[in-house]
Amino acid sequence: MTLPANHPPVARPRVGVLLVNLGTPDAPTPAAVRRYLKEFLWDRRVVEIPRGVWWPILNLIILNTRPRKSAHAYAQVWGPDGSPLAAITKGQAEALQARLGDSVMVRWAMRYGNPALGAEVQAMKDAGCERILVAPLYPQYSGATTASALDALGARLAAMRWQPALRTLPPYYDDPAHIEALRADTARQLRALDFVPEVLLLSFHGMPERTLHLGDPYHCQCRKTARLLAEALAAEFPALRVEVSFQSRFGRAKWLEPATDAVLTAEAQRGTRRLAIAAPGFSADCLETREELAIRGHEQFTDAGGTHFAALDCLNTSDAGMAMLEDLVRRELSGWLA
């Protein structure tokens, strides 16, 4: 059938994969951080406080004090390609594109900030992607992360007349491919250190404790990831003691415990001198790993008496990490790829 001369261009049908991570400001400046925090902290999934109570706290207090402090922290880890999270997520998309080949379009997006999730979904649909796998890069599920990303996806779909067929990547906290990638890359980094750690501290992002009691599975899934990783490392590092903590406490509410900063201080005070820290809840290094753990965590441990400290990289674009991501994505694309 021949299309009419005035028919708009029709893109060739394609399969798409959209990698999604949390977000980052556009620059390490107070103004850019303020815009980012306003979007992030106004999300009902992130802060579950009644809007009438939260609005003045956010707009009159937090957004007038926190941006300058956070901008200083971002400036310490900002690179020539921007924030670590943006640069690494982009690198993961490019590496996955090379692994999957031209039969799949791979793009990346952020839940907060740029490139925006909704805009990227629309761009992929406009480019001919009639089937899209949306892959939130959160190994453990939480309403504040995975569910929020899917909320943004739903909002974009509600505005689209012609929607693509969609699949979403499930949490992969205990997937054998994930545990093996963590084991292989963690072991590689431990072997490369110039000291032998007594303790490996696995630090996960914190959540208010009430989210656990409301039914969020995040805490349990973090604990299972840590247990499986510790078991996988035991054969090569039998003397290594593995501990678990939760970082990034915020506000007055009770958060998941033990807190990372408290554990670092307590370990040094009780005599631990050599410690490595890893963040298996993060798919890519970011402010929370490179500033909070690598810089402030180092200061907290050594100020309390520790002598040797190492912050290990996340999986990022490592061979082990990309092999895992390819495995997970190909599994979820089953039936969509020839």
Residue 72 confidence (pLDDT) = 97
What's the mean per-residue pLDDT of the chain?
96
Residue 208 confidence (pLDDT) = 95
pLDDT digits (tens, 9 = 90+) for 2-22: 666 666 666 678 999 999 999
- Residues β-bridged to residue 209: none
User: What is the band of 324 on the pLDDT scale with cuts at 50, 70, 90?
Assistant: very high
Residue 17 confidence (pLDDT) = 98
User: What is the band of 209 on the pLDDT scale with cuts at 50, 70, 90?
Assistant: very high
Q: 300, 265 in Cβ contact below 8 A?
A: yes
Tokens of 111: 């839940």
**Dihedral, CA of residue 289, residue 292, residue 297 and residue 300, to nearest 10:** 180
- Concatenate the DSSP letters of all residues of 189-203 into one string: HHHHSSS--SEEEEE
Looking at the chain, the whole-number percentage of residues with pLDDT higher than 70 is 97
Could you give the domains of the chain?
14-172+321-332 (3.40.50.1400), 176-311 (3.40.50.1400)
User: What is the band of 249 on the pLDDT scale with cuts at 50, 70, 90?
Assistant: confident
Tokens of 286: 């970011």
CA distances from 315 to 90, 151, 179, 183 (A): 14, 26, 11, 10
